[in-house]
Amino acid sequence: MIRKTLPRSSHLQALWWQKIICPAENRIRTHSAIAPCSIYRILSLGQHPSHHLDHKIQAAAEAGYKGIEIVYFELEAFSQAQHISILEGAEKIRLICQKLNLDILSLAPFENYEGDRSPLSDRLQNARHWISVARVLNASYLQVPSNYKLDAIGDKDVVISELKQLADIGSAEQPVVSIAYEYLSWGTHCSTWEVALQYVNGVDRPNFGLCLDTFHEATKLWADPFASSGRFPDSDRSLRESLNRFVSTCPVEKIFFIQLSDGERFDPPFSKGHPWYVQGEAPQFTWSKHARLFPLEHDHGAYLPITEIAEAWIHGVGFKGWVSMEIFDRRMRDRRTQPETAAMRGLRSWRTLRRELEPVSKCATAIGNTCSKHLTKSKGPFYRNSPQ
């Protein structure tokens, strides 16, 4: 659990992260109901400045992971240290990953694009640069979080028009770079999967789809950092209804990839007196920067209903694509916490989650979409994949 005695950390340190894609030995065959989890966002393997990009990539490969997500500013730091351009740095990283048999899933995060009040021409020019970097990396996706600036424009016609232009830049040249749009629980106008799906349907481009993250679903509907219980009133019902709507209405082809992360419970509850408190910053953002754990790391205070969300997002719609882990854990800012240690934490986490999901997978494989009684009995009243 999170204690008030923990030191404040700078925003830059908090964001020194990386995603990983889960290990090859745990990839489930395509006939299974469990998706292949084999990616890390590479910051998830270390957040100290001494944890260099190439070191973390090597650690991911040695642990058996099948791919990574690259964070732009880490690539920028790697390139600057090599005294080369970022495009040259991207080429080096692509070759390193190719040698290690690692896929590069995405370049991230292209933040605060849609509905921003800066000139659209400037944002489009920046987008062309990012997408050119993604192409050199041979990354499948540019990951775009929902805008969280307080003055962001919320007009859906404006937002969808700007996102269409972004998608069209991604498809203008080969290889096509797809846009994976992620709702943030602290997004100003898009903080739920329903709104994100409205944007996806409005853009109506084959290279524009969803990036789903368990942390955002849980902290939007279920987890309250200000409550002594750690939960919103009627949190189970709110989450259950959201997951049921998701299974009923979200086309699986609109889901590009899924990110898994858990959250550490605040004890005592979060408040203005907490050392992490920042005036004007969304509490979920603060939480995300400091105490976002690998799934089901209960020994570190993880308590979010990750298994229930994963059941719906993976089993409920039959998703079989990439699953990534995105972690922002203050422990990884310690020089002594090496990327190899983080990689093993990720392995343990995925194996634990896989054990949680496997009974549902067997049920789904055996009798199709008629497992609601099994789910209700074994996992609680969060999600059912057929009406009762």
Q: State the number of CA atoms in the 13 A half-sphere of 287 facing the CB.
A: 31
Distance, in Å, from the CA atom of 14 to the CA atom of 288, rounded to the nearest integer, reads: 9
DSSP 8-state assignment for residue 300: G
User: Under DSSP, is residue 233 helix (H, G, I), strand (E, B) or coil?
Assistant: coil
Q: In the prediction, which pLDDT does 361 show?
A: 53
**φ, ψ of residue 37 in degrees (nearest 5):** -100, 110
Sheet containing strand 262-263, edge to edge, reads 262-263, 291-293, 328-329
pTM for the model? 0.84
Q: Number of C-alpha atoms within 13 angstroms, CB side, residue 197? A: 15
Q: Where are the alpha helices (DSSP H) in 34-116?
A: 53-62, 72-82, 86-99
Phi-psi region of 51 (alpha: psi -120 to 50; beta: other; left: phi over 0): beta
Kindly give the parts of the chain with pLDDT less than 50: 3-18, 23-37, 40-44, 46, 363-388
The residue with tokens 């509850």 is 269
Dist. CA 327–CA 230, nearest whole Å? 20
Q: What is the dihedral of CA 361, 365, 368, 372, to 10 degrees?
A: -30
Residue 199 CA, chain-centre distance (Å), reads 18
**Torsions phi, psi for 105 (to 5 deg):** -75, -50
Pick the closest to residue 42 from 74, 76, 81 (CA basis).
74
149-152 LR contacts (CB < 8 Å, sep 24+) = 149/112, 149/116, 149/117, 149/188, 150/188, 151/117, 152/112, 152/114, 152/115, 152/116, 152/117, 152/188, 152/189
By C-alpha distance, which of 15, 382, 5, 1 is closest to 214?
382
The predicted structure's pLDDT at residue 252: 98
Residues 215/217/218/223 CA torsion (nearest 10 deg): 110
Q: Kind of pairing, strands 208-213 and 65-71?
A: unpaired
Q: Which letter does DSSP use for residue 272 in this model?
A: T
Contact 90, 135 (CB under 8 A): no
- Burial of residue 209 (CB within 10 Å: 0-12, 13-18, 19+) is buried
CA distances (Å), 338 to each of 15, 44, 45, 74, 296, in order? 17, 11, 8, 17, 21
Rg of the chain in Å (alpha carbons): 20
Domains of the chain from N-terminus onward:
11-355 (3.20.20.150)
Alpha carbon 65 to chain centroid distance? 17
Question: Within 13 Å, how many C-alpha atoms sit on residue 136's CB side?
Answer: 18
